[in-house]
């Protein structure tokens, strides 16, 4: 880190977190505007109290980028001193988001699609974009989802949590009128998000014969690691995708390991993490 970057990071610590995050939204939108990149600000402060509880806070920025614009946007980020912390391939099991960092603006997750919206990424983005609204963040106009789509995204996002609480979903379930829920259910069908939505609301067994049922079952409920692996392979489309999924399951995520350790992992640390993957089989054999 240069002395200038270190000074920026120190100054950023003096800014209240909410102010810094909303300023980061504005900064990222400015960069998108420079290159005519379409982005949607999702989750966190981009959504209002019509979607989240008033006391909910956020520690980073989430952006959903039009798939055809992702490469251009990453280039403009790097040109403006953002660095890649985790790539799309290493970011999660879904390979849907990358994490970037700036010493002044902090962390941001750049999404190229959103798991649970079961359309092609380009089609899903266009459906969301067509009903977007503009919200001022730090007095800068930022496109975000419609209220209905924002609420649906809360459910879909919660479907990837194995916690039985799902507090964001519970907040909406308790707050929304029947008419609002009906409107949301209709839009869920338009977005092809039925499975993830059912997983978030405890109705997944209505889709027990769907090919992706086990995937969302293991994503939304505590499950044995081996069952989660099987579900990932089962839901992958095509032989090539299945083979790649198996490779990814056993490949060490060096980006995540580096963040966990706080330094670039050594060969020995990577090797130890690789063999730890087989511990689940050892434990099962002992039992």
**Cα–Cα distance, 34 to 31 (Å, whole number):** 5
Q: pLDDT band at residue 12, thresholds of 50, 70 and 90? A: low
What's the mean per-residue pLDDT of the chain? 88
**Cα–Cα distance, 44 to 24 (Å, whole number):** 12
**Cα–Cα distance, 140 to 23 (Å, whole number):** 9
Most confident among 152-156, 242-246, 261-265 (mean pLDDT):
152-156
Q: Transcribe 204-267 into DSSP letters.
A: GGGGTTSTTHHHHHHHHS---HHHHHHHHHHHS-SHHHHHHHHHHHHS--HHHHHHHHTSPPPH
Read off the pLDDT of residues 47-62 as tens digits, 9 standing for 90 and up. Answer: 988 999 988 889 999 9
Q: What is the pLDDT of residue 220?
A: 93
Q: pLDDT band at residue 236, thresholds of 50, 70 and 90? A: confident
What mean pLDDT is predicted for residues 267-278? 72
Cross-strand pairs, 140: 137
Q: What is the pLDDT of residue 282?
A: 52
Architecture per CATH, domain 1-145, reads as 2-Layer Sandwich (3.30)
Q: What is the pLDDT of residue 47?
A: 95
The answer, yes or no, to whether residue 284 has pLDDT greater than 70, is no
Read off the pLDDT of residues 157-202 as tens digits, 9 standing for 90 and up. Answer: 999 999 888 999 999 999 999 999 999 999 999 999 999 999 999 9
Q: pLDDT band at residue 279, thresholds of 50, 70 and 90? A: low
Q: pLDDT band at residue 231, thresholds of 50, 70 and 90? A: confident
Q: pLDDT band at residue 3, thresholds of 50, 70 and 90? A: very low
């Amino acid at each position: 880190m240069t002395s200038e970057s270190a000074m920026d990071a120190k100054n950023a610590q003096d800014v209240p977190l909410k102010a810094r995050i909303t300023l980061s939204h504005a900064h990222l939108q400015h960069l998108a505007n420079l290159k005519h990149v379409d982005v949607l600000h999702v989750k966190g402060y981009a959504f209002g109290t019509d979607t989240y509880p008033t006391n909910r806070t956020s520690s980073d920025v989430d952006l959903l980028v039009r798939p055809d614009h992702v490469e251009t946007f990453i280039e403009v980020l790097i040109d403006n001193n953002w660095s890649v912390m985790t790539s799309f391939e290493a970011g999660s099991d879904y390979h849907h988001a990358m994490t970037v960092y700036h010493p002044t603006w902090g962390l941001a997750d750049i999404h190229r699609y959103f798991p649970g919206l079961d359309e092609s990424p380009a089609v899903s983005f266009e459906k969301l974009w067509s009903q977007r609204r503009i919200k001022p963040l730090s007095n800068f106009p930022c496109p975000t989802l419609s209220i209905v789509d924002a609420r649906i995204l809360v459910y879909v996002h919660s479907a990837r949590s194995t916690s039985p609480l799902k507090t964001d979903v519970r907040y909406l379930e308790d707050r929304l009128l029947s008419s609002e829920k009906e409107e949301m259910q209709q839009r869920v069908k338009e977005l092809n998000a039925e499975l993830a939505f059912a997983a978030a609301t405890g109705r997944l067994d209505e889709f027990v014969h769907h090919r992706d049922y086990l995937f969302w079952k293991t994503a939304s409920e505590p499950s044995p690691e081996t069952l989660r692996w099987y579900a990932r392979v089962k839901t992958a489309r095509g032989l090539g995708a299945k083979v790649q999924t198996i490779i990814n399951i056993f490949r060490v995520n060096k980006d995540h390991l580096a963040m966990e350790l706080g330094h670039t992992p050594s060969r020995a640390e990577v090797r130890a993490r690789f063999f730890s993957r087989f511990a689940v089989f050892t434990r099962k054999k002992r039992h």
